[in-house]
C-alpha cells in the first residue's frame, strides 16, 4: 500500500515529526502522510490531520512567497532548471486554466482538495502563482482545499481504501 521508503526514511523521528515531513513531499503530501500516520504510526485522527496539514502548508507558504523571485533568477540567467520550470508551469496552467476561468476560487479549492497526484498543494500553489491570485487569498483557498482533502483521505483510510 505504501512505499516503505517513506517510513524507513523517517524511522528515527517521532511519528508526529515524520508525519509532518512526509506531508511536505511533493506528490505524497497528505495523501500519504495521513494513511501512514493512522495505520503505521497509530496516531490519533486529530494528530494525523494536524501534523499533515501543518506540514503540507509549509511548501505553500514558500512557493507563494519565493517562486516569483526564483523563477525570475532562473529565467534571467537561462539556468538549466528553466526547462523544468517551463514544463511544470505549462502543464499546471493547461490542467487548471479552464477550470479557473469557469469556477473562479472554487476551482483552486477543488484542485487542491481532490487527493490525486499532481493536483495537491504544490500544483495548486503554482497555479495560484501563474494566475496571479493574491497571497492571502491563495493561501486561504489552498488551506480550505487541504482541509477538505484531509477529511477525504482520513475517511478513505478509515474505510480501508488504499489511495497511495
Q: What pLDDT digit, counting tens, does each position of 109-148 carry? A: 999 999 887 788 998 998 898 888 999 999 999 999 999 9
Q: Of residues 86 and 31, which shows the higher confidence score?
A: 31
Confidence of residue 1 (pLDDT cuts 50, 70, 90): very low
- Is 13 within a domain? yes
- Is 84 within a domain? yes
The Cα 147–Cα 88 span in angstroms is: 25
pLDDT above 90: percentage of residues in the chain? 54
Task: Say how many domains are in the chain.
Answer: 1
- Is 68 within a domain? yes
- Is 75 within a domain? yes
The Cα 74–Cα 62 span in angstroms is: 17
The Cα 133–Cα 76 span in angstroms is: 23
* pTM given for the model: 0.84
Start-to-end CA distance of the chain, whole Å, equals 7
- Is 163 within a domain? no
- Is 35 within a domain? yes
- Is 144 within a domain? yes
For the chain, give the mean pLDDT. 89
- Is 148 within a domain? yes
Q: Where are the alpha helices (DSSP H) in the chain?
A: 4-9, 15-24, 29-39, 45-76, 82-103, 105-113, 121-130, 135-158
Amino acid at each position: 500500500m505504501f512505499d516503505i521508503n517513506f517510513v524507513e526514511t523517517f524511522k528515527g523521528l517521532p511519528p508526529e515529526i515524520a508525519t509532518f515531513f512526509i506531508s511536505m513531499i511533493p506528490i505524497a503530501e497528505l495523501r500519504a502522510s495521513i494513511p501512514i500516520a493512522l495505520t503505521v504510526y497509530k496516531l490519533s485522527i486529530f494528530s494525523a490531520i494536524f501534523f499533515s496539514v501543518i506540514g503540507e502548508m509549509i511548501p505553500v507558504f514558500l512557493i507563494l512567497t519565493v517562486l516569483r523571485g526564483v523563477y525570475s533568477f532562473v529565467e534571467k540567467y537561462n539556468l538549466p532548471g528553466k526547462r523544468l520550470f517551463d514544463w511544470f508551469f505549462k502543464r499546471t496552467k493547461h490542467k487548471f486554466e479552464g477550470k479557473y476561468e469557469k469556477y473562479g476560487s472554487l476551482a483552486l479549492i477543488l484542485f487542491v482538495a481532490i487527493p490525486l497526484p499532481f493536483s495537491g498543494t504544490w500544483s495548486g500553489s503554482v497555479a495560484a502563482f501563474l494566475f496571479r491570485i493574491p497571497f492571502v487569498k491563495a493561501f486561504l483557498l489552498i488551506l480550505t482545499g487541504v482541509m477538505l482533502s484531509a477529511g477525504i483521505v482520513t475517511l478513505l483510510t478509515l474505510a480501508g481504501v488504499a489511495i497511495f
